[in-house]
Structure 1
């Protein structure tokens, strides 16, 4: 809220230099802001009494948008990539899938490794567990196991996350 939108009876006022001016009526505070050629902006509406500051509103909005953009740049978005295997996968195919997972992990992404069982393969889930653990062992210098191999429906799933560099 700015200027005439502020309808509170009394407010705590902060000056343009950041100094505490005390408690004023909103009308007096608006008058003071007008004399300085600046705007009265409500900073903390939930405080008792609400806190308002005398500032240039356009400049305030510009700096606020700059801070938001800066914080978005610093965010690290982790995406989930999936690698699907089968219980009777050949070693070369497994190495190719490991290379893909290596690329995902070095990019900072989580990797979901799934072994899909079809038909009678479901009776041999131990083979799938062994494949997943070998897969994790092949990537152990780059990744940690976030979630151990576990059956989810017809698939056995394991999650890998990139290791933290210390």
Structure 2
């Protein structure tokens, strides 16, 4: 495999958006936009590169699929810095929600259920979602109504801090219910 293929594969995997600049642009004619945002028009590539060089800026291809491609005269280093700053700011404002799991059995005792519900309440206080699973083994699978009652009782114990996001549902040998924290 060639080096070019690795480069394309690397960019595709890590989603790097590199724009063509200055001598990398191989088109004969381009639609040129000034650094102020004004359209200069369709010009030969040599003239566009000369304009960018005279102003001590870069010629950047911003719309490669247009006919003719659109190029802009700008400070490319400053542009990349501002884009990285915007991405960092967007990441900072993102809220991550974790899903914590609590496993129960259909024959769980009241005290054990209270301990598990207290643990789920801690998760809900922290803003995490809780996945409550009741695992059925052997003949218990014939009595899924018992598991549904356990989940209903669990939801009542955690009702102060959480609300049922997804009602109890059988998935294979497990009955699953999701709880979400109450928005305050």
TM-score normalised over the length of structure 2:
0.81
Per-residue deviation, residues 105-132 of structure 1 (Å, max 9, x unmatched): 2333222100112223222211110111
Partners of 1:36 and 1:71 in 2: how far apart?
Answer: 32
Partners of 2:117 and 2:131 in 1: how far apart?
Answer: 12
TM-score normalised over the length of structure 1:
0.88
1:30 paired with 2:30, answer no
Equivalent in the alignment of 1:104: 123
The gaps in structure 2 that reach 5 residues or longer are 1-19
Shift of 1:18: 2.3
Decide which of 85, 97, 121 is 2:140's aligned counterpart. Answer: 121
| Equivalent position SS for 1:11 | strand
Query: Which deviates further from its counterpart, 53-62 or 93-102?
Result: 93-102
1:9-88 to 2 correspondence within 5 Å?
9-88=28-107
Partners of 1:141 and 1:44 in 2: how far apart?
Answer: 53
Query: Which deviates further from its counterpart, 57-66 or 131-140?
Result: 131-140
1:142 paired with 2:161, answer yes
Equivalent in the alignment of 2:24: 5
The gaps in structure 1 that reach 5 residues or longer are none
Partners of 1:139 and 1:48 in 2: how far apart?
Answer: 60
Q: Say what the alpha-carbon RMSD is for the aligned residues.
A: 1.8
Count of matched residue positions in the alignment of Structure 1 and Structure 2: 165
Partners of 2:67 and 2:156 in 1: how far apart?
Answer: 59
